[in-house]
Each structure stands twice: as structure tokens, then as C-alpha cells.
Structure 1
Amino acid sequence: MRLIFAGTPDVAVPSLRVLAASDHDIATVVTRPDAPIGRRRVLTPSPVAAAAEELGLPVLKTARLDEAATARLATTDAELGVIVAYGGLVREPLLSMPEHGWINLHFSLLPRWRGAAPVQHALIAGDEETGASVFRLVAELDAGDVFEERRYAVPARATAGEVLNDLAGLGAELLRDVVAAIEGGRAVAIPQAGAATFAPKLTEPDGAVDWNEPADRVAGRIRGVTPEPGAHTTVAGIRIKLLDAEVPEGEVLLKPGEIAGHGRDILIGTATQSISVSKVQPAGRPVMSSGDWWRGVRSSQVRAGT
């Protein structure tokens, strides 16, 4: 089949590569425009744009699938549209333009966690299982019938970035199978069942850690907002980014925000037991072992959040 592929970040690249390696013809790759990256704000192509250029595929860079983009895509005679984390809405008449419509690879087990940040919200909520779903794109947010899904057990200390990386590979294989089923006339989509939950995009304040919450919720938030927007607290007035978290075996009681060295790691108190953190990044400094950072603080009186 002739495909339109729409995607932008790193997690969409495995899907693009898998489809490009198949017998299908990718007529156009749609992605967001180049964005300023780094301290020097250098305009940089999206990961999908860079991969498409490497693969020799035509690229349409657009922030919105407006009339101009729709007119250009109409010339491709595509039979199916495929979207993976593009970052924009597909509306009519583009939604109905390909013969087989559009399908979307989404990183959750729908209808749980519809929205822009499903993996992040799953970890914040303490979900022990998530997955990937391929569904038919409709006007309502992530509400279309589901073709197939794959389940994924969340590792104990995994961050949202690590889980997304795993799901990107798992989802690419799932997407390939669904596209093949659609081509062969074997695809069956089933309506979503159960109560929907929603996963809006996270912002910088979502990364602030409240040490008065229970340990499992604190650890889930830290892991869920890592690497973006990033978990953070303050210690002696200095902002500290926390890069991982785990609730260790064996109850260690510290007051909320109280910090204690624990080998190469540190323990931080919550409303229940303490959590373990192994990597931190003080403002203006590189990532380091939390134990090394804490030994440099040289004070047992300071607490996280102060």
C-alpha cells in the first residue's frame, strides 16, 4: 500500500524504519518543523525528519495539517495514513482521504490514558502494566476502535523515558502487523471498553516532588516525569533534579524530605517509608552519583524541599 507516515519524536522512528523496510511505499513523511535545540537554540530537524532524509523519503514539515498540507497530501494517492506521536490533529477532509483512513500507534492500553503523555501518567499513577495499541483514528481524542494491542510489564525502577524506548520497539512491530492485516483484508477493529482516563501533556510544575506524599506516589512521580519535564526539589535553596527512584526493601523511616546517605545512593523520607535515589543533577552541574553529591553537601540538617 501507499502510506502517509506522520510522526515527530524519537519514539516514532522505529515505526518509520520498520514500515520503510517493508513492501509498502511511504509516499510522504509528515513531521513538525525544525525546532531550536540546546543553549545556542540551533534549528534542528525532528528525529523523524532526520530518519526520513537518511531513508531517502519525501518530507512535509508542518506544524498544522491545514488546507495547504491537506492539498499536498491529496496528491500522494495514499491508501492509508499512519500516525505515531506527530503532535498535531488530523481533521476532515484529510481524516477520510486515504481509502483505509488513518491508524494511530498509542503507548497505552486504551481506553486507559488517552492523550499526549500516556506513559508518564501510567508511571505517576503506579500502573504495573501498560502497553501499546493501534486504533482507527477518529475525531474524538484517542477514542477509535482498537485493531491490536501488546501488553508490557513495567520494570520496578524504569523511568518514563526507558519505558517509552521499550514501547517504541514493541509498537513498531505491532504497527507493522496491523498494516499487513489491513492490506490483506484481515484487520478487525473492536470498540474500546471500560472507563477512559486521560493523560494531558506535563509541564515543569508537574515535576515538583511533594515529600509529604506516600513513598510509592513519590517514586512514581519521579520516574513518570523523567526525563521530561524532570523531577526536581530544592536542598538548601539549590534546585536538584532527581533522575530515578525506588522504594527499597526494608522499611527505613526518615521525616518527609530528610536525607541520609546510603552507600552510593541517598535515602529521602516521605509520608511513609523512605525512597532511594541513585542519580541527581544539581543546578548548573553534570549528572552525578547521589551519594557523591550528598557527601559534598556536608550537612545533616538540610532537607529536600527547603
Structure 2
Amino acid sequence: MIDDTSSPASTLRPDEFSHTPISGEHWDVIVIGGGAAGLSAALILARARRRVLVLDAQEPRNRFAPHMHGVLSRDGYSPLDLVADGHREVRAVDGVIVDARVASASAIADGFEVVTAAGDHATARRLIVATGARDVLPDIPGLAEQWGRGVVACPYCDGYEASGRAIGVLATSVGGLHKAHMLRAYSDDITVFTGLVDGIPDEDRLVLEARGMRVETRAVTQVITAAGELTGLGLDDGSTIPVDVVFAEPALIALDEPLRQLGAERSDTPIGPWTTVDALGRTSVEGVWAVGNAANPAALVPIAAGSGAAAALALNGELVAQDVAAAAALVASAAVAS
């Protein structure tokens, strides 16, 4: 398996990040991760007049794709342009966004301390982890170079654009065959490549064929391109199967190091252990929230953004309650003193 290390479709400009010194500053909330989930949370909190710091390593999961789909009012929009828009909106309401990779996160007496890879320290009353996840592709020559363009993963994100085309489904598990059934609505020309699967039950193969899909058991050894565009998949016997687009089944790895450092509980999921959160993103560590793919491996962009907003609303409610309780304690103390 190989990481998705192809060059992203675009990059954020250096001037889109603040160079504000953060060491020694105490914030209401630190958000680790500046994708759709983290920026959505930061925007809500900054608009609530909270002091918000976003630490962004500039590695959103969808940075390799030139376009995103299924995002209301932004269908076909560049995912990195969406992030750049979010940066401007957060900064416009006094949120601070710093280009930084977080090295460690720990609990302290009055909240949490975060240390960046550059050695900067910052503390906050609350912490939101929006570090997302990364895709790990099968180790097939040429696959990573086409990632986000000729090779994709999500039928909901890219299935419509594949309508009527020759689709290859690169399965790595029996469960992954479900992706082929999802894609059947888009095309009559689907080949399911099962060479990476350790045995396909006869019933599953027959059902695929009954739905008009071809099952190819020979191993895929390379991605074939012409003028930079994917044209087919090469097999171990030297033959080539023409395809226009490949839907792969990458392994998804949580980028959850800050949550692990803080001791957040994890739960088993169909794709492996993942941080446990409640409906609003609270983790098992009081004061720590997880949103987006850090909390939900199935979160598409709109779901990730929504989870960030939901967490921010609930988190700000906690801060308001804490502020009210502190004021009430002062009133009670003054009444006793008098």
C-alpha cells in the first residue's frame, strides 16, 4: 500500500496564513486542522466573539481533486478554493489561522496546551480536533499519479461524472464489491477487478454478473495512460483492459495523533478503530471535541462542515455556561461577605 502522495491540484497562497506569534497566548478554543470541518467550527466560534486559533498543516484529504461534488451551492468547486474562502471568512471575524503542524497536545490545569513542530506553544480552554484522515492506495505503479483525477474513491462524489463511461472498480475486499453495485446506476460498462481480494464467494461473483458487470480476477500490475490521461489497467499477463475511470478502495487511516495523546476513547468500526464521539462531537476527554473525518470516516464535505458547526454551537454553549457559573459564584461570594 502507498500513501496518496501525488501533487495536489492547487495550493493555498502563503499570504492566506497569519504570522501572528502564538507562544504564550491563551485562547478560548484551539482548532487543530483547517479543512471544511475545522474552519466551519472556527467561523461559528469567532462570530460568537471567542478567541479562536486554527492550526492548519495544509493537508486536507481532498486536496488532490480539482473539483468536489454534492456540496450545495459549490458543486464542481475546487476543494482548496473552498478552504481559501473559509480562511478569509474566519479571518474577517478576527479568527487567527496559522500554518503549523501540531506535534503534541496535552491537558493542563486550565485547559489544554498544544505544541507545534516549530516549537511554538499555545493554550486554550477547549480543543477541537479536525485533523481528518488519509487514503492509502494499493501499491500499483501509476495509481497514485492519477489519484483525484482518473482514479477516485467515492461514488457519491464522482459517480455522476462517470455516467456512461467505462468504469473499473479496483476492489481490495469482499465488502468493497458494494461500490460496484452503487456504480451500476451510472454505467452499463463496468469491470470489477478482484485480483487484490483474497477470494470472492461464487454468489457474490454471480450477483455482479447478473447485474451486467464483468469480473476480472487477473492481477492489476499498472495503470495505463496516454497524454497524462488514464486509459486502462494493465494485467499480470501483459494484457490491458480499457477503462475511462477507476474507483479504488483505499485504506482510510485516521490522523488522530492529538486525540491519542490526550487519551480519547476509540471504537471499532468496519474500517478499524476510530475516535468515539457523541452526536455533537464530544470525545471521552472533557473539553475535547473531534469533527469531520477525525470523528466520522464516512463524512463527505457537507457532513464534515456540519459536524464542525454543530460542535461549535454546543462548545460555545458550554463556555457561556462556564462564564455564567463563574459570575454566579462571585455574586454568591459577595453576598456572603456582606
* TM-score, structure 2 as length reference: 0.30
Q: Which has the larger radius of gyration?
A: 2
